[in-house]
Structure 1
Amino acid sequence: MTIRSTKLWWMLPAIATQNRVDSLAGKAKPKIELLNAAEIQNVLFGPPEAPRQPLHPEIHRPIAAEDWSHLPRPRLRVAEAGFRPDLFRLSLDFVSTRLSQAFASAGASPDYLPVECTACPAEVQDQGYRALNVTVFANPLDRSRTTPAYFIDVESGAGPTFVWVPGMPHPNQPAPVICWRDDFDPPAPMFRVPGTNWTLVTEELAAAVTAAGFEDVGFFDLTDSSKPRS
């Protein structure tokens, strides 16, 4: 597959959508919850009481694709009328069947984990939610222009890569500057950046999803976070 786009967008739930999810999940009696979140986290990262052996003290997110075939099936409970977003985050990223089909039509082929929604109303079950697992990793960061310039070189299953550590934000310091390599060739229409929570997509995929009217999906330019995709 030839990826024509050099423009990259950070894909995440629309701000209003995710704010609603966070509000519903944060209630004293949550109206949305991942019933087996602790079990899933234990499988991915080990139980809290277990000794941890992190790749590096400052790397807390995956640097390469993860095999989710051993994960328990996520069990979602929703008790909110009209809850039908196509993309939202609740420990994992959940996408509707309709959105996954739009990804496929744009050439993206992430893995999905089926979601159990028996504790949800019919309108939620009709969304056919599945957990999104992006299995392609690549690093478009330009180390010479991205600041602050603190990088950790690591070895992943796919070969050497690196993780950018921007440090804690400080009111008396300028905001970090993110720059992509001019020669970067996206390996797929959708991929993850090692050691981050960034799911990046190409201009073609972002345009296809936007044109299809998915209002719950946001695309932001990490090189200028003030400019969402219009």
Structure 2
Amino acid sequence: MFLRKKPASKILDWLYPSICSLCECGLSEGKSLCNECASELPRIVTPFCDICSEPFDGQIDGDFDCPNCRRITFHFEFARAAMDRSDGMLGLVHGLKYGRQIHLARDLGALSAEAFSDPRFAIALEEKWLLVPVPLHWIRKRQRHFNQAEEIARELSKKTGLPLADLLYRSRKTPTQTRLTRKQRMENLKDAFAVRKSWRKKNPATSKEVPGVILVDDVFTTGSTVDACAKVLRKAGVPRVAVLTAMRG
């Protein structure tokens, strides 16, 4: 069965011909990534760390001491990235985050949604956990005009039916984490996030009965940012917190 293109899509394709963000081949229907390039992006597949999603070569039997998680207790249960680090994924993430190519959120959301194949997310889908994007400080969001984590989470909500919740806000502006060590990142993020009181007032019943939260971000590197968010959520009474990101940094 062939689906006919909507007139609006035909007009947009004619006015603004779309090309793949990676190979620049011609596209249609508002896509920004061709099927071939999307299929070639490296997925996170076993073996990988059950806690931080760091992939490893070979085979893991029995207990495994992940160098990223060694001697660290996170406030989230697990973090699952959909894609491994690659030039292609970095290009897409940076294009959205710094290049303001907001249309890339659609494809990054679709790629991120592949992480839901992890059986550990089954209970989240069943119980309708909240999708909560890692927030930007309002000054940075005003400069960027959007929050990349929120745009990815919005696409995930469309694909999964899970509710999107603006649960957290950044209570203070912090320097960029790019060149900081893990210890410096953790100190940098101290008291940087809080739960919105306005959300609790608007949703008094729901806020007390949240079964769990999936924190959504673009990249998981050391886990410092999502852990700071998870700590605040757990302190507010959220019983279970998991993390989903588009890429493992």
Q: Same fold (TM over 0.5)?
A: no
Normalization by structure 1: what TM-score? 0.23
Larger helix fraction of residues: 2
Per chain length, whose mean CA-contact separation is higher, i.e. which structure has more relative contact order (CA < 8 Å, sep 6+)?
1
Normalization by structure 2: what TM-score? 0.22
